Amino acid sequence: MRSIKNGRMTELGLGSIVEISRNVYSVGTVDKDRRLFDSLVPLPEGTTYNAYLVMGKQKTALIDTTNPGFEKSLEDIIREVTNPADLDYVIMNHAEPDHAGAIPHMMTLAKNATLVTTKIGAKMADTYYKIPADRTRTVADGDTLDLGGKALRFIEAPMLHWPETMFTYLPEDRILFPCDFFGSHVTNGFYDDEVKDLIVHAQEYFGEILMPFRSMAQKALEKIKDLQMEKIAPSHGPIYRNPERILEPYSRWANGETKQKATIVYVSMWKSTEKMVHAIAETLTSDGIEITEYNMASASLGDVARDLVDSRAIVLGAPTVLGGAHPLGLQATNLVKVLRPPARFAVILSSYGWGGGAVRQIQETLGPSKIEIVGAIQVNGPPSDNDIEGIKQLGKTLAKRIKEEK
Ligand code: FEO
């Protein structure tokens, strides 16, 4: 890792220019203060908006840009190695503003630059960033762009996680630039081996962003499986100089491989639902099932999403409030619905004061999913000893189903 101006280097090379291969530079920006992504996903340590500069003998390309508000930082970082006005190409792997938000700024600075993106990306570049067709070059799977001694190759990877997404590959340096794919919201390391628990963060990112598109992820992994890769340089988080470290778990996650594990997500008002949840948690644990348990009143959605990536079962617990599920229980159910985790089985536990409704609403919400509801128990008021016994029996049935399933 080499910095161009040591005075600008942060401790680990983030937010400054770093040469990651000969004439290939990381020019990403760091947003340590951001606390939410998509107004939903918690970012405890912020995130990075990675961008890369590839300088051939004749042409220079910028791969992805940055989030709105960081345009000047990106410009200043690039200026340490070249004049941004001299850019020949801006590659848009993905149109979402955290990577493409500075495209208008860069295209204004570099008056002769061409935006390179997929056909759908070109339409989005017009809609979002007002880049006209005569400044855009559309590329398809396998197209290349010669920079002189270095040639970028484009790999369409749609729905990861927008319809226009593509990867860019640089064969001369064996680097893949996959934008969001393989990303993580990590700001405390530049290379993968500098972050001990990186794969935990990457799993959370996969759960939040890519889990609903597992079949498209499988197709993309198939497309890149024969590429020679010395580095994978995503647009959030550290660069992998040990690509296998992320390729192996991505293969498992994309294939929907689950463990003998249940994620329990619940909310309780007067501890009745909580007692029910704890009863099934004890049974599952004593039957050898790994469990993770989240009270929605305090849980991070990111943690829940991470555990849904490899859980074979989900337990949803929510009391009835005003004829339906408690709003936080419904939020958990909706999260399961939209993230489409690979879980095969679910159990619903609920208590009510004077009229039920939560179980029906949760069942209806999960209806279109492929998750089999193994059982649902609702009790009036606090669970009796008999109720607890019934929940334990249901727990044993669930544990058996989890173990039988491969
Ligand atoms: Fe990191 Fe889909 O943007």
Q: Tell me the pLDDT band of 9, cut-offs 50, 70 and 90.
A: very low
Taking only the tens place, the pLDDT of each residue in 107-143 is 999 999 999 999 999 999 999 999 999 999 999 999 9
Q: What's the 86 CA to ligand 1 centre distance in angstroms?
A: 27
Together in a domain, 224 and 305: no
- The enclosing domain of 329 has a CATH number of 3.40.50.360
Beta carbons within 8 Å of 238's beta carbon, 6+ residues apart: 184, 186, 189, 190, 191, 192, 194, 195, 198
Together in a domain, 286 and 217: no
The reported pTM is 0.95
Together in a domain, 38 and 106: yes
Q: What's the 227 CA to ligand 1 centre distance in angstroms?
A: 23
Together in a domain, 21 and 150: yes
Q: What's the 180 CA to ligand 1 centre distance in angstroms?
A: 5
The last residue of one of the domains, among 254, 277, 307, is: 254
Q: Tell me the pLDDT band of 16, cut-offs 50, 70 and 90.
A: confident
Q: What's the 356 CA to ligand 1 centre distance in angstroms?
A: 41
Together in a domain, 278 and 222: no
Least confident range from 14-23, 51-60, 173-182, 393-402: namely 14-23
Q: What's the 60 CA to ligand 1 centre distance in angstroms?
A: 24
Taking only the tens place, the pLDDT of each residue in 250-261 is 999 999 999 999
Closest CA to 21 of 63, 67, 83: 63
Together in a domain, 125 and 215: yes
Residue 227 scores a pLDDT above 60? yes
Q: What's the 312 CA to ligand 1 centre distance in angstroms?
A: 28
Q: For ligand 1, is residue 64 a contact (CB within 6 Å)? A: no
Protein residue closest via CA to atom 3 of ligand 1: 96
Together in a domain, 59 and 76: yes
Together in a domain, 171 and 130: yes
> Residue with structure tokens 């990403």?
28
Together in a domain, 218 and 283: no
Domain carrying residue 112:
2-254
Rounded to an integer, the average pLDDT of 200-218 is 97
The last residue of one of the domains, among 254, 285, 310, is: 254
Protein residue closest via CA to atom 1 of ligand 1: 180
Together in a domain, 223 and 281: no
Total domains, the chain? 2
Residue 173 scores a pLDDT above 70? yes
The pLDDT value recorded for residue 367 is: 87
Q: Tell me the pLDDT band of 37, cut-offs 50, 70 and 90.
A: confident
Q: For ligand 1, is residue 96 a contact (CB within 6 Å)? A: yes
Three-class SS of the chain:
CEECCHHHCCCCCCCCCEEEECCEEECCEEECCCCEECCCEECCCCEEECCEEEECCCCEEEECCCCCCCHHHHHHHHHCCCCHHHCCEEECCCCCHHHHCCHHHHHHHCCCCEEEECHHHHHHHHHHHCCCHHHEEECCCCCEEECCCCEEEEEECCCCCCCCCEEEEECCCCEEECCCCCCCCCCCCCEHHHCCCHHHHHHHHHHHHHHHHHHHHHHHHHHHCCCCCCEECCCCCCEECCCHHHHHHHHHHHCCCCEEEEEEEECCCCCHHHHHHHHHHHHHHHCCCEEEEEECCCCCHHHHHHHHCCEEEEEEECCEECCEECHHHHHHHHHHHHHCCCCCEEEEEEEECCCCCHHHHHHHHHCCCCCEEEEEEEEECCCCHHHHHHHHHHHHHHHHHHHHCC
* Separation CA 290–CA 324 (nearest Å): 30
Q: For ligand 1, is residue 180 a contact (CB within 6 Å)? A: yes
Protein residue closest via CA to atom 2 of ligand 1: 96
The last residue of one of the domains, among 185, 220, 254, is: 254
Q: For ligand 1, is residue 185 a contact (CB within 6 Å)? A: no
Q: Tell me the pLDDT band of 390, cut-offs 50, 70 and 90.
A: very high
Q: What's the 204 CA to ligand 1 centre distance in angstroms?
A: 14
Q: For ligand 1, is residue 99 a contact (CB within 6 Å)? A: yes
Tokens encoding 160: 């990861």
Together in a domain, 180 and 60: yes
Index of the ligand 1 atom closest to the CA of residue 161: 2
287 within 8 A of 399, measured Cβ to Cβ: yes
Index of the ligand 1 atom closest to the CA of residue 183: 1
